[in-house]
Amino acid sequence: MTDDRQPDSGHTEWTPTPRPGRDVVRQRLLDAAAEEFAERGFSAARLAEVARRAGFTKGAVYSNFESKQDLFAELFAQRSLDLAGRVLAEIAGMSPSDAAGKGGEAIASWMVREPGWAMLVLEFGVLAVRDPQIAQAYLRERRQLRGRLIELIGERAREWGVEDRFDVRTTAISLMALISGLVLEYWVDPEEVDQPTMGAAVTALFAGAVATAGLA
């Protein structure tokens, strides 16, 4: 016996909602983690809350990241590389002296705009000294960031025609260390170590590298 009934025109036929792809899930988790870590710090952040913010179960976190350390390390790398890419893109086409000033201003602006995130990176680094599991994730991502910075700074050196004289590795290491120190000083004494002061410090670092390469 066949069913000859027609669909009720007053009802909308239900269709399942497509499941988001893995890349979409990972990015939503990373975005949610950025909020959770920024509000609570690394130690107090909870993966269950990250999952809730992203609209998933806690299982979704563990199916994409091995641990809270790995989740934060990937988030840290993503944000750091995004900042480095934006800053170095801004100075593309500038003269070395102009690039040094613009780069310093851009990095100082970020440190003032997101001091909580910058302090979070310092917290993660301090914990890495005492926790081997955190240290492994921290070291992996710091080396990745350092390598990418070397590539990006090297692109500018080639643009200026001083690839063989510009010490890109030392500049990248010095920049990462300087940012960490400035963030701490700004957090403790923002009146004395203000945005112009931090910008001037970063500019001085770039200017010194430029002068050493014979571009000053």
Per-residue pLDDT, averaged over 136-154, amounts to 87
* CA–CA dist 8, 21 (Å, integer): 33
Per-residue pLDDT, averaged over 180-189, amounts to 89
pLDDT score, position 172: 92
- Assigned superfamily of 20-65: Homeodomain-like (1.10.10.60)
pLDDT band at 96 (very low <50, low <70, confident <90, very high): confident
Task: Inform me whether the pLDDT recorded for 85 exceeds 90.
Answer: no
pLDDT score, position 2: 46
* CA–CA dist 79, 64 (Å, integer): 18
Task: Inform me whether the pLDDT recorded for 45 exceeds 90.
Answer: yes
Domain spans, the chain: 20-65, 67-212
* CA–CA dist 156, 151 (Å, integer): 9
Range with the largest mean pLDDT of 4-8, 49-53, 157-161, 209-213: 49-53
Cα atoms in the 13 Å half-sphere on the side-chain side of 41? 9
pLDDT score, position 155: 87
Nearest to 66, CA basis, from 122, 26, 106:
26
Element (H, E) at 205: helix 195-212
Cα atoms in the 13 Å half-sphere on the side-chain side of 71? 31
What is the CATH architecture assignment of 67-212? Orthogonal Bundle (1.10)
